[in-house]
Structure 1
Amino acid sequence: MPQKIIFMHGLESGILGKKSQYLRENFENVYTPDMQMSMLNLKKKNSIIRNVTRTWIFRMWTFFIIIVLFRLSYDWQSLASLFFSFVSFFLIKKRIFQSALSMSLQQCTSIQSKALQDFKPDLVVGSSWGGLIALNCITQKIYNCPVVLIAPPVKMVLNKVDFSGQNWENICEKTKQISSLVHIVHGENDKVVSIEDSKKLVEKTKVSLQIIPQGDHSLNYPLLEQQNALSLKNIIRELENRFQ
Structure 2
Amino acid sequence: MALRIIFFHGLESGCGGRKHRFLQEHYDDVVCVDMHMSLLSLGKRNSILRNLVKNALMTKPWNLYSWSVQCSLDGCLQCQESELFRTQSSKGVLIGSSWGGAVACLAIAKGLWKGPAILIAPAYKLAVGKRGGYDPTYSPLAIYAAMAKQLASDDYVGQVIIVHGTMDDTVPISDSREMASVIGVEVQEVEGGDHRMRCLLEGETPELISLINRAQTTGNPPER
TM bucket, shorter chain: 0.7 to 0.9
User: Which of the pair has more CA radius of gyration?
Assistant: 1
3-state SS, counterpart of residue 57 of structure 1: coil
- Show the counterpart of 1:125: 95
Unaligned 5+ runs, structure 1: 61-90
Q: In structure 2, which of residues 183, 208, 213 is the aligned counterpart of residue 232 of structure 1?
A: 208
- Show the counterpart of 1:181: 159
The whole-number CA distance in structure 2 between the counterparts of 1:196 and 1:164 is: 23
- Looking at secondary structure, tell me which structure has more helix per residue: 1
- Show the counterpart of 1:162: 133
- Show the counterpart of 1:193: 171
CA contact (8 A) 1:14 1:35 kept: yes
- Show the counterpart of 1:81: none
Alignment-mate amino acid for residue 162 of structure 1 = G
Alignment-mate amino acid for residue 27 of structure 1 = Y
What is the alpha-carbon root mean square deviation over aligned residues? 2.4
In the alignment, structure 1 residue 223 sits paired with structure 2 residue 197: no
- Show the counterpart of 2:155: none
Structure 1 runs of 4+ off > 6 angstroms?
Answer: none
TM-score normalized with structure 2 length = 0.84
The whole-number CA distance in structure 2 between the counterparts of 1:28 and 1:37 is: 26
1:127-185 Cα offsets, whole Å, 9 max, x none, are 00111111111121113111000000122223264278652221121222316631000
The whole-number CA distance in structure 2 between the counterparts of 1:32 and 1:206 is: 28
Unaligned 5+ runs, structure 2: 153-157, 220-224
CA contact (8 A) 2:121 2:173 kept: yes
Query: How far off its partner does 1:18 sit?
Result: 0.6
- Show the counterpart of 2:67: 99
User: Equivalences for 1:66-85 in 2 at 5 Å?
Assistant: none
Inter-CA distance 224–110: structure 2 relative to 1 (3 Å threshold): same
Number of matched pairs: 209
Q: In percent, how many aligned pairs have the same letter?
A: 33
- Show the counterpart of 1:150: 120
The whole-number CA distance in structure 1 between the counterparts of 2:173 and 2:93 is: 23
